[in-house]
Amino acid sequence: MKWKAIPIAMMLMTMSLTASFANEVTLVTNDQMIENENMIILRDDILYASVSEMGAHFGSTVRWLDVAKLAVINIGEHYYSFGIDTASALMDQNGIELSQPTRMEDNLLYVPLDDLMRWYGVSGTWTPETLTYALSSTAFQYDEAEIKVPSYTDEDLLWLARIVDVETGDATVFKRMAVANVVLNRVKSERFPNTIYEVIFQSGQFPPSKRDSFPTLTPKANSMIAAKRALEGENNIETCLFFNNRPFSSKSDDFYQLIEGDYFYN
C-alpha cells in the first residue's frame, strides 16, 4: 500500500512559495533508508516536518480549515492545530508554543520536527556530519516503493564536501553545488578517474587537496548541503568539467557561465 499525504497544498494555491531544491536530508527508519522528497527539510540549521507527509506515515488524519487557515492533525487522543508562520498552536483547545514558527514551502505546512516527534512519542537522532535523521519507530509506515537504495557512501559525501569547502570560501550554496557537480561530472567522464576520491587527488588537479589539513577537514554546513544536493542529482552547471578564477584563453569556446567570480567550462 502506498501511503499518501492529504494535499493541504491544493487548498493553498494562493500562498507565496519558497524556491524548491532537492532534499539534502537523508531519512532512515529502523535501519532502512526511505525516500524523503518533502517529509523532512533543513532550513537555517533547523529540521522541519511536513504535517501532512509525516502524518500520513503515522496513520494520522490531516484536515485543512480554510476559514481559520489551520491544519489540524490527530495524534493519539489529541488534536493539534497549526497556523501559518506562527509558533503558537493548539492541543485540543489549549494553547501551546512551538520551538520555532511554522513555515510554508511548496504548498506544504511544516512544523519543527522535534516537536512533532515528541507528540508522537518517537525518538530520533540527527547526524549533521552526514545530514541524516534516523527515526526509531515501528509506528512509522512505509511500503517497499519508498525504500531508497543509496547511490553514494558517507565517505563519498565527506570527500566531496571537503573539496567544495576549500574551493569556494564563503560562496553561496549555488556556487558550492556547481563545484560539487564539476567533480561528479569528472567521475562520469572517460577523461578522468571514476571515483570522487581519485578525481579530487588526481595529479595536477585541485591544489587545495594537497594541504596537510585537508584529509581531516570538517566541512561547513553549506558545503555538506551542496555536496548532498549534487549527489542526489541536482545539477546547476550541466556537463562542465573545469572552473577557474581567471578565464581560460584556450577554452573560450567551452565557456559556460561565470558564477561568483569563477569561470565554468565544459
512559495: which residue's cell?
Answer: 17
- Quick: pLDDT tens for 135-173: 989 899 999 999 988 889 999 999 999 999 999 999 999
Residue 2 pLDDT level (bands cut at 50, 70, 90): very low
* pLDDT (tens digit per residue) in 39-94: 999 999 999 999 999 999 999 999 999 899 999 999 999 999 999 999 999 999 99
- Inform me whether the pLDDT recorded for 264 exceeds 80: yes
For the chain, which domains are there?
A: 8-146 (3.30.457.10), 154-265 (1.10.10.2520)
Q: What is the pLDDT of residue 227?
A: 95
Of 84, 76, 75, 121, whose CA–CA distance to 8 is shortest?
Answer: 84
**For residue 198, what is the DSSP state?**
H
**Cell 595529479, residue located:** 203
Q: Tell me which residue has cell 520555532.
A: 100
